[in-house]
Structure 1
Amino acid sequence: MKRTTARTRAVISGVALVSATLLLTACGTSGGGDTKAEAPTKLGDTEGAISILAWPGYVEDGSNDPTVDWVTPFVEETGCKVTTKTFGTSDEAFSLMKTGDYDVVSASGDASLRLVAAGEVAPVNTDLIENYDGIYDFLKMREWNSVDGVSYGIPHGYGANLLMYNTEEVTPAPTSWDVVFDKSGDYAGKVTAYDSPIYIADAALYLMKHQPDLGIENPYALDADQLAASVDLLKEQRANIGEYWSDYLKEIQAFETGDSVVGTSWQVIKNSLAEGTPAEAILPEEGATGWSDTWMISSKAKNPNCAYAWLDYIASPEANATATGYFGEAPSSQAACEFRTDCESYHAGDEEYASQIWYWTTPIADCVDGRTDVTCTDYSEWTSAWQEIKG
């Protein structure tokens, strides 16, 4: 397959994460942010350059594959010469943004609130972005890309963390996540799960539906008792895990060889399996976690006009279709589907489907579900818990 540059949503390292969470805790209920940063009311001439920090596969200029290039048209259109640096984890992106060397970053929901709280990204005036209107409404002004009614970025694409299973080994066909939790012992040694502290939210989502007495309303807003229950469930699952994965190419191989028969997956993984591999991927009855990445502008951007030009360009139908299609996710607008043939496979624009996805959101001490009578656990606590789970 061609998408060898697709991102590794890997385990987030602890040290920088702890410091980032301290910032989140200090900034209050909304995550706070840099009160000095303000969105512009108008744009000026482009500066002739832009430095972009991005997941692999998000800013392709033909150097990886000469047939894949959506950067050159942007440069020709705007005069903004593009310099790109890729990162492998959200923690790495957070650290790099603190240097002030980058104008724009593609941030996942497990990094976006950290960046806002640390004052590393600026509010975005969406009125200055022509293609913003066409973006799906269900991706706009959400808890991972806005704070107190202020937008902090432009949605790129989105996807769900699906349940994939071997149709010959896992019978009857599952409809619930119970096959990787309460029933994981039936597939001991062949269960796979995503390797990151954010996976705790998957357990929380399952408990939200199956143990309502815990009072979980949002899988990213867990008080101490709710986190403990989620950790206990994952410790039980741990005994039956054959492999945790962060590199999606490894999960493809594991399902093709039969080393894994059931577990968390992405649509692009299912689509990339070798012909004849007996596997299906579903959105279970409980719903699923997922991601919606956000293009954000640095509060220290040296080239803010080119940054706005990039946000507008990457949200344009053809560019967005090309970029999200190359990576393997749904685009951010219905107009982009005019330039793709696989939108149905990714459930693009299906609001009912999208409503069942709990998009990655940074856990912070001030509960993102709106509770004010308790303190929620933050990402540093999730990281410590994840290390405990894996042993």
Structure 2
Amino acid sequence: MKTARERFKKFIEDFYLVLVLVFLYAPILVMMVLSFNSSKSRSQWGGFTLKWYTQMFESATIMDALYNTLLIAFLSALIATILGTAAAIGLSAMKKLPRTICMGLNNIPMLNSDIVTGISLMLMFIAFGISLGFKTILFAHITFNVPYVMLSVMPKLKQTSRNTYEAAMDLGAGPLQAFFKVVFPDIMPGVLSGFLMAFTMSLDDFIITHFTRGAGINTLSTLIYSEVRRGIKPSMYALSTVIFVTILALLLITNFAPAKPQAKAGAGSFGPNAVPDKEKKPLWNGKTAIVLASFLIVGSVCYTSYLHFTSSHSNELYVYNWGEYIDESVIDEFKAETGIHVTYDLFETNEEMYPVIEAGAVSYDAVCPSDYMIQKMVENGLLAEINFENVPNIANIDPVYLEKSKAFDPENRYSVPYTWGTVGIIYNVQKLEELGVPAPTKWSDLWDERLKGEILMQDSVRDAFMVALKELGYSMNTTDVGELEEAKKLLLAQKPLVQAYVVDQVRDKMLNGEAAVGVIYSGELLYLQEEAETLDLDYDLEYVLPKEGTNLWIDSWVIPDNAKNKENAEKWINFLCRPDIAVKNFEYITYATPNKAAFEILDPEYQENKSVFPDTDELENSEVYSYLGTEADDLYNALWKEVKSQ
């Protein structure tokens, strides 16, 4: 009989184990459930569906990213395992002091920040004139993985007796035969552990991949990161679920497979007088077939990958755009009409895009930054002037937005508007009625005490300060320290009323009825209204432009100064300015189009939606963000840090 103390101890141990398992696997379970949710919302159940799995397999972008991820992970893990194992064997033969020094040096890359490793590798490739692409990612992953393999193999080598190896040599075995017959079986668990660790590290890596990849090369991590701006698509949940279930199945098979019987030891295992093993299996068996098939598959994949990544096109275009910021059929249509091969790459933020263009490690021909970043690129000489004789369709762009563009491109020489929008307040009509609060009309309404715990603010330094500065009647591009201090105090006064500072989470929170009001980008409204209709919510979501004015943002196409296919980039920009193409992109992106000819052929329901296409007089007090310089950026960031930390 167990005592009460033993039972209590057992209960604590079991409870702790369950707690750890819940902590580890609850998020994965949530993701798996969402992969079967017919709604795109992360908080509302719309019914069971398999459509996201269908979309996953039909998406060429996802399949390419999956292919790249698995291939890079397998090749880098395999090569790193061979190199790491050989290095570990060499280290084990050293004397204690040099071995300790070498192991210390081996540990530095593992303790070093990934971003330092990634940037240093990128700079090394650039310094040696190596263009970024598949081979640079592979090299970087091998470099990253080797120390982990060595760390896994070394403990097993310490447990291996050198006397056994020498005995095999005395019995007539050659060095290689003795190694593979005696040493290798002993260190095999460490080698396998190192391979699996390297494979997992490579599979999951984002930072090093991001800094060493070239145009058109995406892995799952970089693809998912590039989609964060609009929210990760449910098809990614489906893909992650498939990967998790596959890995789980492999682990179960590995751990619960029947143990292989140990071979009987006997004299004469090596040398000319070796006694033949009567129980020795034939040379050709199922395991041999599997190994040969594996090598055949790997060889085929490597060969097709080599052809894929080394193929060149005489007529090509390299495009760098936000994630989910174009109808993919438009790319195919452009290829079909012009014969130009498009390599399409993604970024998630302006700040992520800028250093890639500045470094010149990858030569993109057409890029789509935001207003203030275009100004920064112009000031730093990173953009080429557009030859508008090759872009006659610019006549379709509404002059209003060309005039607005002069805030960051004074003579309209470097950019062509692609999409635009505003920042405003979205509100839950019924929830405000329950709280007895009227619908908001101005930024100052976000300081209403009755809305305590019901306000969602943007977790963005410029957008948050824009709200406060406009409420105070100042320009959102001010660099006046006194005005910014006033804005900081106003944001601190508002902070007790704020439920959360969010980015894309504002969509799910508003759909789930978790907040009454939120600061949001106008382009999100159509998505939210469509989701609300799909989910048949019992409340309405509306959007308003505050009277004090707001940010009118513009994303535009530009051509980097180092573009190798400038004329093709101008053909691309001209193509996107065509009314039918602009309509396709608007219906896919749901952000307002500056294309006047496209607007005129939109469905009336879109034309009449004043939240997406507000009247000109509503934009009277609105401004476009300007690049304020490094000092001003540092000041804004310092003040925002004070707001968030207090």
The TM-score bracket by the shorter chain reads: 0.7 to 0.9
Give the CA RMSD over aligned residues: 2.6
In the TM superposition, residue 357 of structure 1 has moved relative to its aligned partner by: 3.1
Match of 2:334 among 53, 64, 74: 74
Ranges of 4+ aligned residues in structure 1 off by more than 6 Å: 1-7
2:480 maps to what in 1?
Answer: 223
Aligned mates of 1:354, 1:50 — CA distance in 2: 36
* Matched residue SS, 2:476: coil
- Count of residue pairs brought into register by the alignment: 325
Equivalents in 2 of 1:124, 1:304: separation in Å? Answer: 9
SS at match of 2:419: strand
481, 495, 502: which one aligns with 1:238: 495
**Structure 1 residue aligned with 2:355:** 95
Which of 441, 448, 451 aligns to 1:175? It is: 441
Give the counterpart of 1:259 among 514, 525, 532.
514
Paired residue for 1:388?
642
Q: Against the structure 1 CA distance between its residues 173 and 330, is the aligned structure 2 distance closer, same or farther, given a 3 Å change threshold?
A: same
CA distance in structure 2 between the partners assigned to 1:112 and 1:347 by the alignment:
23
SS in 2 for 1:232: helix
Structure 2 equivalent of residue 146 of structure 1: 409
Q: Which amino acid aligns with 2:634?
A: S
User: Where in structure 2 are the equivalents of 1:1-391 lying within 5 Å?
Assistant: 8=229, 48-61=315-328, 69-100=329-360, 101=362, 102-141=364-403, 142-147=405-410, 149-170=411-432, 171-180=437-446, 182-183=447-448, 185-199=449-463, 200-208=465-473, 216=474, 218-247=475-504, 250-271=505-526, 272-273=528-529, 274-275=532-533, 276=537, 277-341=539-603, 342-345=606-609, 347-348=612-613, 350-364=615-629, 378-391=632-645
SS of structure 2 residue aligned to 1:172: coil
Q: Deviations over 1:291-325 (max 9, x none)?
A: 11111110110110111111111111111121133
1:55 Cα deviation from its structure 2 partner:
0.8
- The SS at the match of 1:98 is helix
The 3-state SS of whatever aligns with 2:623 is: strand
Q: Distance in 1 between matches of 2:615 and 2:342?
A: 33
Larger C-alpha radius of gyration, 1 or 2? 2
CA distance in 2, matches of 1:233, 1:340: 41
Deviation, structure 1 residue 2: 7.4
> Structure 2: how far apart are the matches of 1:136 and 1:262?
32
Inter-CA distance 81–191: structure 2 relative to 1 (3 Å threshold): same
In structure 1, how many angstroms separate the alpha carbons of the residues matched to 2:230 and 2:512?
23
* CA 207–111 in structure 1, closer or farther in 2 if over 3 Å, else same: same
Deviation at 1:174, TM superposition (A): 2.0
What is the one-letter code of the residue matched to 2:627? T
2:381 partner letter: G
SS at the partner of 1:297? Answer: coil
Summarize deviations over 1:147-192 as a string: whole Å, max 9, x none.
3x35220001111111111212322222211121x32x32122211
Cα distance in 2 for residues equivalent to 1:136 and 1:388: 41
Give the strand-richer structure, 1 or 2: 1
1: distance between equivalents of 2:489 and 2:424? 22
Q: In 2, distance between residues paired with 1:283 and 1:289?
A: 10
- Asked if 1 retains the 8 angstrom alpha-carbon contact of 2:230 and 2:323, the reply is no
AA of the residue aligned to 2:507: I
Cα distance between partner residues in 2 of 1:126 and 1:382: 37
* Deviation sequence 1:349-383 (CA, Å, 0-9, x none): 84323444323332237xxxxxxxxxxx6223222
Say which SS state the counterpart of residue 219 (structure 1) adopts.
coil
TM-score (normalizing by structure 1): 0.76
Alpha-carbon distance in 2 for matches of 1:7, 1:161: 18
TM-score (norm 2): 0.47
Q: Distance in 2 between matches of 1:220 and 1:140?
A: 20
C-alpha change, 1:265 and 1:312, in structure 2 (3 Å) is: same
Following the alignment from structure 1 to structure 2, what is the Cα–Cα distance between the partners of residues 349 and 135?
17
Distance in 1 of aligned mates of 2:227 and 2:325: 8
More helix by share: 2
Q: Is the 8 A contact 2:327 2:584 kept in 1?
A: no
Aligned CA distance change for structure 1 residues 140 and 292 (closer, same or farther; 3 Å): same
Change in CA separation of 1:2 and 1:143 when aligned onto 2, cut-off 3 Å: farther
